[in-house]
Amino acid sequence: MTTIQPFPSIEKALKTVIEMSYPEANGHVGGDLQTVPADGSIYVWLGLVPGGGVNDQTSGQWTIDVDVFARDYNSAMMHASGIEAKLLASPHRTDEIIIDSVFQNQSPTERPWDDDSVYRVGATYVLTARRRGV
């Protein structure tokens, strides 16, 4: 009898896709809101929307927030739009997951943030993904 392992992390797969397809974000993608750019770099935050998807251990659909933090609005919007273009050009493949489709739920727009010296531009996407080999 084969035991099906839990579905691989969709956040990890999306992080890999963004870092591979958008070099400016390489090393600056994660889920920690305490990591905002102190220099001219950007930070890309990935957040799984609670209740935003289902999976059956082999495939599923998820809703993900992708927020770009930067020191100026134009930079944040430029990078959010660049990442969006790469995500919407699905399918994407990682070692464990194939992201078959990406749909935009909310386009990149400025979102509130407590620190006035940091700009936050975010968008929401719906991903359909499956394990590789399924």
Q: What is the pLDDT of residues 6-60, one digit of tens each?
A: 555 788 889 999 999 898 888 888 877 776 666 778 899 988 876 656 666 678 8
DSSP labels, 81-123: HHHHHHHHS--EE-SSEEEEEEEEEEEEEEE--S-TTSEEEEE
Residue 19 near residue 25 (C-beta atoms within 8 A): yes
Non-local (6+) Cβ contacts of 96 within 8 A are: 8, 13, 131, 132
Structure confidence at residue 56 (pLDDT)? 60
**CATH C-level class of 10-131:** alpha beta
pLDDT interval class at 85 (50, 70, 90): very high
